[in-house]
Amino acid sequence: MSFGQLGYDVAHLLGGGVLLLSFVLLYQRRIGAVINAFAMQGALLALAAAWAAHAQGVAGLYLTAMLTMAAKGVLIPLALHATVRRLDLHRTVETALGIGPSLVAGVGLVALAILVALPATEGARALAREDLALALSVVLLGMLMMITRRNAISQVIGLLSLENGLILAAIGVAGMPLVVELSTAALVLMIAVVAAVFAFQIRERFDTLDTASLEEHRGERR
């Protein structure tokens, strides 16, 4: 252990908080609440990054923390709210899988993540192991959200939350080189996705809009 029990506990707590918020994301029914929960997750992640910067003594991670806070805690949620208003999207979350079953599936995924990550990382530090399991859970829950929600906004939030999991994993691995660059690059990707929602004017869920219009366009269907 390179740092004390407190450091471990705080990091663990923050990571657990991020995971908990993933569940909250799954649980919410209204889009506004989903966005808010996502903002919370971003903020928590920023805190975790800052704590990691402090604990590992890597100054660059403060930058990550600040960027995360600014982008995910504030800007992206604002932009999403604006998009919902501007494009007059459905305010309620339409689910492909009910809330309850989603949560059950989420618990199963967390179990899977732990089952996979813990044995796989024998030999690594405990924090890294825990962190990896948490991060993997967040990633999987993000994907779950993407495939069980029908609104474009919810799905984008799923992707964003997935990316939160990545950052969580990256900051958990002490001494990861290029961590700032990578997390920034990932952030850029996410911002681009959000921008694309706006630019492409993805009004409806991409359930109905996608292939059907492609089929009509190209006459591929028989």
Which runs of consecutive H residues, i.e. helices, occur in 69-177? 76-87, 99-120, 126-148, 152-172
Convert residues 71-100 into a mask of x (bound to another protein by CB under 8 A) and - (unbound).
Answer: -------------------------x----
| End-to-end alpha carbon distance in the chain | 63
Token pair 């967040």 in the structure block, residue: 138
Number of residues counted as binding another protein (CB under 8 A): 67
Which span (17-25, 36-44, 82-90, 159-167) binds another protein, by CB under 8 A? 159-167
92: which strand partners? 30
Distance CA 1, CA 13 (A): 17
Kindly state whether residue 113 participates in binding another protein, applying the rule CB under 8 A: yes
95: which strand partners? 149
Site residues (vs another protein, CB under 8 A):
96, 109, 112-113, 115-117, 119-124, 128, 132, 135-136, 139-140, 143-144, 146-147, 150, 155, 159, 162-163, 165-166, 169-170, 173-178, 181-182, 185-186, 188-189, 192-193, 196, 199-202, 205-211, 213-215, 217-222
